[in-house]
A and B are shown apart, each in its own frame.
Chain A
């Protein structure tokens, strides 16, 4: 499967242990920065009711949906129990020259 690296933002635009929304060509993603300065990306909408995850709370490897508290491990995309049961798709992330890129397949 081919991938396209797409620039998201400057690395410092995402706070530690936080998430931003990134829209690209009609798709929406959530891009995360962990407390130890690693970056991750997932689909941007909760698999329960398609709420923007970037409005949610990041804590301890978990993104929690702002509406119904569905939880996912943002590093693996794994759903962590009701009300969500479908995992998030994850995307490779790299930081180059101070910018964050995600690979959109």
Chain B
């Protein structure tokens, strides 16, 4: 094998490129990204990266690509995969042959129907350029309306408040963080936002958005309306599967891969936000994760498997969110839980452990100031991975160290 091509120069693609070298691959590596920047970390975009209007936080400096012998093509769009020829075609006419291909094409924001194209007063957040545009519109007294009470919307709300903007957050469901976050934790988050002056409107039915030179307006189904200087739509993401679909690869809520991240073409792998994969800890159910650590881990795993290792995905889903001084962390998938056990920590921090009908720990969700819950959530992740059935009383008692349960 002499040439591995990676399409998508985000966290996942960049991590895969470096991991190939770390695992001893000596052939050619080409990493292709549509944005003009070096690969950068996206989590800061809704947090410190937005607040500070700083340059992107790069995954690695330019010298490291050179040292590793990685050909990085930025500002380059891949238009098609020619599977019979084993080549990718770029928008500028270039054709790049591959022996093996990794698709790390990521995801893009879900579009709200009826939103006018290119309206400067209505934005979404995915890229550094998006963050700069939003940052430029935020200042004390500016009115910001955020549509979507998920992590992006809430993190943006917290950052916007720090910058002094007035914020209304509009959610179509009965509460914020409806997907994958327990109600007790979502309630803490919502209350903290209200303390900071964020207005949260749930069960909202939006009829239309309008944008003009001086502002943007949300029109609700009940006839009410809201005027803002800027509207940000953050209603989830959809995987970038068009290249894979056009190439005839199997797609099922993302580019469908097996447990080794291999697509329906044995020479093409997919990893990160763009792919759905079977999760062994949850009976092999197919999931797609939009999470920073997943992108990293799958990039590294894909690199090994591109080189023939054939190692399965073994990690437990994990993600975090920072809002004000609070950090929320979740390990595992709680939707199959039968019972929940609460452990209270100091400073108002707490963790919910979710057990299935057989007493197996399937998820843990925690929230608290700073990193109050981090260590226990990390240990819970290991307990989940080990298929543990911990004693609920031990879980509920902060006196019981989870590390001891892991060793049991």
Contacts and interface: CB of A to CB of B under 8 A. Distances in A.
Contact of A66 (B15, B296, B300, B374): B374
- Identify the 4 closest CB pairs spanning chains A and B, nearest first: A66-B374, A55-B371, A66-B371, A57-B378
Contact of B296 (A17, A64, A83, A85): A83
Interface in A31-67: 51-52, 55-57, 59, 64, 66-67
A51 B300 contact: no
B155 to A, nearest CB: 14
30 contacts: A51-B371, A52-B371, A55-B372, A55-B375, A56-B371, A56-B374, A56-B375, A56-B378, A57-B378, A59-B403, A64-B378, A66-B371, A66-B374, A66-B378, A67-B320, A67-B327, A67-B371, A67-B374, A68-B292, A69-B293, A81-B300, A82-B15, A82-B59, A82-B296, A82-B300, A83-B41, A83-B59, A83-B296, A85-B60, A85-B64
B62 interface: no
Given A67-B320, A82-B296, A85-B60, A17 B403 contact: yes
The range of chain A's interface size is 10 to 19
Nearest to A55: B371
B87 interface: no
Question: Most B CB atoms within 10 A — which of A52, A68, A81, A83?
Answer: A83
Question: Most A CB atoms within 10 A — which of B293, B300, B327, B378?
Answer: B378
A69 B293 CA distance: 8
Interface in B319-337: 320, 327
Interface of A: 17, 51-52, 55-57, 59, 64, 66-69, 81-83, 85
B379 interface: yes
Given A56-B378, A82-B59, 16 more contacts: A17-B403, A52-B370, A52-B371, A55-B370, A55-B371, A55-B372, A55-B374, A56-B371, A56-B374, A57-B374, A66-B371, A66-B375, A69-B378, A82-B18, A82-B300, A83-B41
Nearest to B377: A66
Contacts of A59: 403
Given A67-B320, A67-B371, A69-B293, A57 B379 contact: yes
A57 B375 CA distance: 6
B232 to A, nearest CB: 25
Contacts of B15: 82
Contacts of A68: 292-293
Nearest to A66: B374
Question: Most B CB atoms within 10 A — which of A52, A64, A81?
Answer: A81
Contacts of A83: 41, 59, 296
B375 to A, nearest CB: 5
Nearest to A69: B293
A85 B379 CA distance: 24
A81 to B, nearest CB: 8
A29 B403 CA distance: 23
A81 B22 CA distance: 10
A83 B64 CA distance: 14
Interface in B25-78: 41, 59-60, 64
A51 B48 CA distance: 14
A17 B401 CA distance: 12
A83 to B, nearest CB: 7
A67 B22 CA distance: 24
A51 B327 CA distance: 13
Contacts of B296: 82-83
Contacts of B379: 57
Contacts of A69: 293, 378
Nearest to B57: A49
Nearest to B15: A82
Nearest to B372: A55
A67 B292 CA distance: 11
Question: Most B CB atoms within 10 A — which of A55, A82, A83, A85?
Answer: A82
Nearest to B329: A66
Question: Most A CB atoms within 10 A — which of B60, B296, B327, B371?
Answer: B371
Contacts of B18: 82
Nearest to B320: A67
B67 to A, nearest CB: 12
B19 to A, nearest CB: 8
Contacts of B403: 17, 59
A33 B15 CA distance: 32
